[in-house]
Amino acid sequence: MSEAIMELERLDELKKLVRDVPDFPKKGIIFKDITTLLKDAKSFRASVNTLVGAIQGTLAGGVKAAPIDQVVGIESRGFIFGPVLAYLLGTGFVPVRKKGKLPSRTEQVSYELEYGTDILEIHQDALEPGQRVLVVDDLLATGGTAQAVSKLIGKLGAKVCGFTFLVELEFLKGRDKLGGYPVFSVLKY
């Protein structure tokens, strides 16, 4: 069997472990629950290895996003893969959190949700000007959250050098909002 076909089969196995939860958190949304994949040791490891491979540009079609100075994770499920990637890439980890959670001085960005707006924050001293930042979250949907985080990183004078997600809902075209940046996702729906 060719390596490309083995890779596709492996990704198909991973996809089967993501659980669809209809009408969560509200009616009409099909929530992609990754806890069913995370609890499976081999699948968790395969997901992390695929992300690292893509970041280091070793996968066919992978995104060459290295060298990276810092990994930024988006609350809250970006805190699952973000620190693991930071550890493996040998960088620090910087959390972006929802309003009111970070204790020191912050920069803020507000962004549109389906109903109303929300605010994300980063510590003002979390990144140095010019640092190259990889942004990590579990899932790319409309791209509004990731786009807001790229603005936050820009406010500190740092540069986004790529985005990685475990899951991408391609039909929502979130990638279009992240135009110009390399984007890598493991499982596409």
**What are the catalytic residues?**
77, 114
Its sign, for the CA torsion 87, 80, 65, 46, is positive
Positions 122 through 181 that interact with ligand AMP (CB under 6 A): 137-145, 174
Q: Pseudo-torsion of CA 47, 48, 53, 55, nearest 10°?
A: 110
Shortest distance, position 139 Cβ to ligand AMP, whole Å: 4
Nearest residue (CB) to ligand AMP, 56 versus 142: 142
Positions 4 through 43 that interact with ligand AMP (CB under 6 A): 29-32
E strand or H helix at 122:
strand 117-123
Nearest residue (CB) to ligand AMP, 47 versus 145: 145
Is residue 32 within 8 A of residue 23, CB to CB? The reply is no
Shortest distance, position 143 Cβ to ligand AMP, whole Å: 5
Nearest residue (CB) to ligand AMP, 145 versus 150: 145
Shortest distance, position 185 Cβ to ligand AMP, whole Å: 11
Shortest distance, position 114 Cβ to ligand AMP, whole Å: 8
The region that residue 57 occupies, defined by phi over 0 for left and psi between -120 and 50 for alpha, beta otherwise, is: left
Nearest residue (CB) to ligand AMP, 56 versus 119: 119
> DSSP alpha helices (H): ranges in the chain?
3-16, 35-38, 41-55, 78-89, 144-155
> CA 79, 51, 183: angle at the middle one, nearest 5?
90
Rule CB under 6 A: choose which of 17, 44, 54, 77 binds ligand AMP: 77
Closest to 59 in 3D by CA, of 122, 7, 134: 7
Q: Using CB under 6 A, list all residues that contact ligand AMP.
A: 29-32, 74, 77, 137-145, 174
